[in-house]
Amino acid sequence: MADSIALTLGHLAGHLGATLRGDPDKVVTGLATLQDAGPGQLSFLANAQYRRYLADCRAGAVLLTSADAEGYPGAALVVDNPYLAYARASHLFETRPQVTPGIHPSAVVDAEAEVHPSASIGAQVVIEAGVRIGAGVVIGAQSFIGARSCIGAGGRLAQRVTLGHDVIIGERVVIQPGAVIGGEGFGFANAKGVWEKIAQIGGVRIGDDVEIGANTTIDRGALSDTLIGNGVKLDNQIMIAHNVQIGDHTAMAGCCGISGSTKIGRHCMIAGGVGMVGHIEICDNAFITGMTMVTHSITEPGSYSSGTAVQPAADWRKSVARFRQLDKLARRLQQLEKRLDTVTPAGDTASDA
């Protein structure tokens, strides 16, 4: 593992704005769950279902709400939101290797690219003409930055990230390995059965504080740009087609596929494996559960779903067979209702309903 980290509880309390209940000089050297944490580690209780682990917790200190801290005999860092405090503390224990400013000698950087002196360009990176790399940016080994693309200050590209030409990225954006931003969108016109390619002459614009997951692809626009708002978080292996727009602070889990020109609002949460057809709009604050097939626009905030959930295969086969008969079953039901009306009036059993 990385070089050891050692932080006093006093330092942590100051950093997190926490009220310390314990020895400020006590040292922790790592972070762990309530079950796993030892005396040298910091832990946290963010989910009520793990409260039962508090009694036997051996952690050096625990991030707790004041209510949870009351019954806890060990060292506590009392905060309003332990999960958020954990998020903020986690960066103190980062294991990622340090980088130093400068351009690795194996990198190929065009003479007409502007790289800020505080930026770090890794081994075998290729940077084309007209690129601008901001202050403090880290570009991991083997990444490619296409012509005229810009990366705002504080950005961090992991290894082997590919940005096509004319991709404009805001500040503090993090991109995981293998992501491709600015590939050509899937645009073809059909001429008597043969597909003719449409040049994809738009770019991609990405806001500040965005995160893009490993092997995720965001295509360049056909005419205007594909747009990713501020604070958007995209997990791995997501496919964002040309001219999609994603509103600020929307989060999307892995393996989603968003078709061309679809517009997703702000503060949406899209679970894993969701697919959306093209040219629809999803309003702000929509929550879409995993693997949902979104076939039309969503205009009201709230939760949305589709699909059927796992069953034993034998039961499932019966349901699936009946699913195919559903329309016939519904018609037979209607027929029965009519027949029964000839025998007994519908009102008869209404009081039982």
Sites for a copy of itself among residues 91-130 (CB under 8 A): 91, 93-97, 104, 106, 108, 122-124, 126, 128-129
259 binds a copy of itself (CB under 8 A): yes
For helices 326-343 and 313-324, angle between their N-to-C axes, nearest 10 degrees: 70
Minimum CB–partner distance for residue 175 and a copy of itself (Å): 10
Of the pair 23, 136, the CB lying nearest a copy of itself is at: 136
Does position 6 interact with a copy of itself (CB under 8 A)? The reply is no
- Looking at 63, 69, 144, 264, which residue binds a copy of itself (CB under 8 A)? 144
15 or 88: CB nearest a copy of itself: 88
Residue/partner pairs of 79-85 with CB below 8 Å, 24 or more apart: 79/16, 79/17, 79/18, 79/19, 82/44, 82/45, 82/46, 83/44, 83/46, 83/47, 85/16, 85/18, 85/44
B/e letters for 263-278, b = 16+ CB within 10 Å, e = fewer, are: bbbbebbbbbbbbbee
Q: Which of residues 26-65 bind a copy of itself (CB under 8 A)?
A: 31-33, 36
What span, in angstroms and rounded, lies between the C-alpha atoms of 234 and 168?
A: 17
Number of residues that bind a copy of itself (CB under 8 A): 148
Q: Which amino acid is at 337?
A: E
Residue span 178-217 as binding mask against a copy of itself, x where in contact by CB under 8 A, dash where not: x-x--xx-xxxxxx-xxxxxxx-x-x-----x-x-xxx-x
Is residue 226 at the binding interface for a copy of itself, with CB under 8 A as the rule? no
In the residue annotation, 249 being an active-site residue is answered as no
Residues whose CB falls within 8 Å of the CB of residue 176, separated by 6 or more in sequence, listed in order: 158, 161, 211, 212, 213, 214, 215, 216, 236
Given the residues 15, 104, 242, 279, select the one marked as catalytic: 242
Kindly indicate which of the ranges 20-28, 58-66, 112-120, 327-335 contains the residues binding a copy of itself, using the contact rule CB under 8 A. 327-335
Which residues are identified as catalytic? 242
